[in-house]
Amino acid sequence: MIKISIVIPALNEEKLLPECLASLGNQDYGGEYEIIVADNGSTDDTAGIARKFGAKVVSCPERKGVFYARQAGADAACGEIIAQADADTVYPRDWLQRIADQFASHPEAVAVSGRFIYGNSPWWAKFEYLLRHSVNRLTAALFARPLVVSGATFAFYRRAFLLVNGYRGLSYSADQYGICARLSKAGKVLYDENLFVLTSARSVQKPFFLIIRDVLAHLNHWGMYFCKCRISALQEFTTKTPSRRIATRLLPVPMLVISLVAYGYFIPTSPVFGKVYYEGTSREKVVALTFDDGPNEPYTSQILDILASHNIKATFFVVGKNVELYPETARRIIAEGHVVGNHSYSHNANHALTEYGAKDLERAQETIDNTVGIRPHLYRPPHGKKSPWELEAVKKGGLIEVTWSVSANDQHVLAFLGEPSPETLSREIVSRTNPGGIILLHDGYGTLHDTVKADKSLTVKALPLIIEQLQTRGYRFVTVPELLNVPAYNEVLA
């Protein structure tokens, strides 16, 4: 097992440090690890507390600054892996083990990054999570590195860190942007979206307009930094400053494009790449229940029983592979008057990014046709991700793209937040539902079966609650084609 050094920069952290160190002392990691607190000139008991928790204290009061302290801590580290941590953050018990597992299963990686959630979330935090997550996922898929890592949860090989000269000389966002950009030159920087830590919101607890101002200043700063790097090469040829000024001014353009592309790709309701149906236009209290990733037994049958007992018709976006596995269930869905939509053949996560997506869609059409004798008119992309060529393929195949307007954590994606109960799941769904809404639920999990993830008993238990609560509020249930006033199936050409 690899030795890990955790480095925490600290300046007067006596208040928050104990909880942080307690969580780090309680890791279930099977290997050896050390905790280094880089004391950046504290006048309180930071060093004393660190020692009490068994941490090694490196004193570095010469120059104030987080990056300086991080570097001093890293210089004293002797682990093969260095993990960046923060004093105001609490770490889940499996944090180190998860990091080690990621390195073990990705030999090409030099670093692993994760995500944070605020312990006392400000109201706009969800936007920040979403923006960071979308941009990082996109850049991780396209450039083998997230754009901005979280300073509180990031780990790298010490040899790669030494190779790129550490944080030294980084002038901008050294522990979030700079070090990630540098390390990416030495190898792949992984983005593990389930590597969560709980951080305090103290750095962002200020009026909202100040946050916006800071964000803009950050973007501007980043732009200048980015440009400086790119332009220095150009300056060899042209020493005139106007080119630099123009390029700096133009920087918001690629930034906007990246944001727009991320919005188009990740957000189920975004129309950036073409027409997407995510709700009906009716002001009447009608709503459509949709179930993705089935058939998956015994859950699909249990859901069909519940729907039958309430005399409700729903829409099932089935996965081709699962239809092959449970053809009888697929036939039962149709026989009981529900609608079947296409949710791809293999449920591959990166469908929208590759040409393969179009073939997979067509293969699902064939499978469904061969099994139940219909060709769906509705297509729902895996994970709701879209791209221009994927939407083109949908159109060419005579289908329409349907996503959703209401969803909750019934896939247990945010594992760190814990699994919701049927009551909380139904409450979340019901509170987000408006007339014309399309509700996303799952009777399966990708192409998995008989695993913990594929266990959809939570959805099965929540379903009657959702139905009854929406009926109490005066809602009526229809299928997606009824809601959108479109055909359910394409005609099969003889």
292/428 with CB nearer Zn ion: 292
Closest residue to Zn ion: CB criterion? 292
Span interacting with Zn ion, options 138-146, 193-201, 216-224, 378-386, rule CB under 5 A: 378-386
CB of 57 to Zn ion, least distance (A): 49
Residue 86 or residue 293: which is nearer to Zn ion going by CB?
Answer: 293
Strands 286-294 and 315-318: parallel
Q: Which is nearer to Zn ion, 203 or 457 (CB)?
A: 457
Instruction: Work out the angle at residue 178's Cα, subtended by the Cα atoms of residues 176 and 179, and round it to the nearest 5 degrees.
Output: 80
User: In this structure, what token pair is assigned to residue 452?
Assistant: 């913990």
Pick the catalytic residue: 343, 377, 383, 442? 442
CB of 442 to Zn ion, least distance (A): 7
- 292 forms part of the interface with Zn ion (CB under 5 A): yes
Of 28-36, 285-293, 350-358, 404-412, which part binds Zn ion (CB under 5 A)? 285-293
Output the furthest CA–CA distance in the chain (Å, rounded).
83
- 338 classed as catalytic: no
| Of 128 and 455, CB closest to Zn ion | 455
Q: How many residues bind to Zn ion according to rule CB under 5 A?
A: 3
Which range of residues in 58-66, 175-183, 222-230, 290-298 is near Zn ion by CB under 5 A? 290-298
442 in catalytic set: yes
- In the set 292, 360, 410, 443, the catalytic residue is 292
- The least CB distance from residue 293 to Zn ion, in Å, is 4
**Min CB(411)–Zn ion separation in Å:** 8
| Closer residue to Zn ion, CB minimum distance, 175 or 410 | 410
The answer to the question of residue 293 lying near Zn ion (CB under 5 A) is: yes
Find the shortest distance in angstroms from Cβ 447 to Zn ion.
10
410 forms part of the interface with Zn ion (CB under 5 A): no
- Name the site residues for Zn ion (rule: CB under 5 A): 292-293, 382
Residues with a known catalytic role: 292, 442
